[in-house]
A and B are shown apart, each in its own frame.
Chain A
Amino acid sequence: MKKYFLLLWLLACATARAQELSITFLDVGQGDAALIRSPAGKNVLVDAGPSPTRVADWLRRAKVDTVHLAIASHNHADHIGGMPRVLENIPVGSYMENGMPATTRTYAHIVTLLEERGITVLRADPRRIDLGGGAFIRILSSTPDPKSQNDASIGLELTYGSFHALFTGDAEQRQRLFWSRDSVGRVQVLKVSHHGSVNGTDRAWLEPLRPCVAIISVGAKNSFNHPSKAVERLLDSVRAKTFRTDRVGQVSLRADSNGTFTVSAGKPPRATTLDASCRQSR
């Protein structure tokens, strides 16, 4: 009888886990990479960090056998450095980038791999991407005629029921102003733009978002003095709990469609569960 209840309990746990959305912000040093896994098991990679091998190795260790969509927020090496190895080693269903070509060898290599493997490239137009299981990504409209890769960053709003997360690439003021007009509202999780640089965040941008959790993906002792102390103070002032990957390593989130989510980070990982209004729920 005990065995029967244990089996039922394990089955219930597995079903509950399958209905969760997960986001993992990888520790890639000075750069960005995150993996979204929908409740239906669809994997979306957002950026691939600066290292040629780190993200592909992580995906292999995490037993990710398919990336259904790979997105390069913009074509800087600290976001696409690991993309060639991902395209070489893991089946990728579709690819999205910002439409502003770079002149680097890494970018040229990506174009060649996309051609060789016949991977469909999606335009970063305003559109909805259904990840299955009730999770969606909305591609935000982009500022016309951007002058730099940062300001051509693709903005992604990830929604799963009452849970919302915003991915911002390295967007600077011009792009953020544009997004502010694109009905971007309250989010539970914000991937802080441009590694916490002062040109990636300001009060006008943060106040409507009021994130519960802010992720700064940044390398220790980087050459650019990211993140800015002023940005960290701003995040504190809107009561966002900030996680820096240089301090806590990888940050993992699991979200329920009711907006409740659990953040695990640190060595060893410590878990905190918050509800959709940022209240610690257990």
Chain B
Amino acid sequence: MPPKPLIVSIDRVEKGVAVAESDAGHRYEVETARFREKPTEGMVYRVPVDAEGEPRWESAHADPVEAARRRRQLGNRMNNLRKGDSGGDVKL
């Protein structure tokens, strides 16, 4: 049975390097040229891993539906948390 693919989110892209964070909490710095299409900030990828457990970035599949779902769900939860903010100036 092939190992489960990694699920990573692109934290940021800087100077030809994509910083990806896996759902297990590991961070990777990957040259953007290794992806089939240029990765973008916030995109979620499913990345196959080889027998040694190394990610095969060349075969990564973008999952825009999952990326949109995460943005929407986390954005809604954060908006709920902001309801406690009455606005205006604040005294700590």
Q: Once the chains are docked, how many angstroms separate the CA of A128 from the CA of B92?
A: 11
Chain B residues within an 8 Å CB radius of A104 = 9, 11, 21
A77-B78 contact given A68-B92, A93-B92, A102-B9, CB 8 Å threshold = no
Q: Once the chains are docked, how many angstroms separate the CA of A122 from the CA of B87?
A: 8
A103-B19 contact given A123-B82, A129-B92, CB 8 Å threshold = no
> Is A88 located at the chain interface by the 8 A CB criterion?
no
Chain B residues within an 8 Å CB radius of A93 = 92
Q: Once the chains are docked, how many angstroms separate the CA of A197 from the CA of B22?
A: 26
Question: Which stretch (A11-19, A105-113, A233-241) binds chain B?
Answer: A105-113
Compute the total of residue contacts between A and B using a CB distance below 8 Å. Answer: 107
B85 touches A120 (CB 8 A): yes
Q: Once the chains are docked, how many angstroms separate the CA of A120 from the CA of B79?
A: 11
Chain A residues within an 8 Å CB radius of B81 = 111, 114-115, 119-121
Chain A residues within an 8 Å CB radius of B44 = 103
Number of interface residues of A (CB under 8 A): 43
Chain B residues within an 8 Å CB radius of A106 = 21, 25
Name the residue of chain A whose CB is nearest to the CB of B81: A121
Q: Which residues of B contact A (CB under 8 A)?
A: 9-12, 14-15, 17, 19, 21-25, 27, 29, 41-44, 67, 70-71, 74-75, 77-78, 81-82, 84-85, 87-92
A sample of 9 inter-chain contacts (CB < 8 A) reads: A94-B92, A102-B42, A103-B42, A105-B24, A121-B78, A127-B88, A129-B90, A223-B17, A224-B15
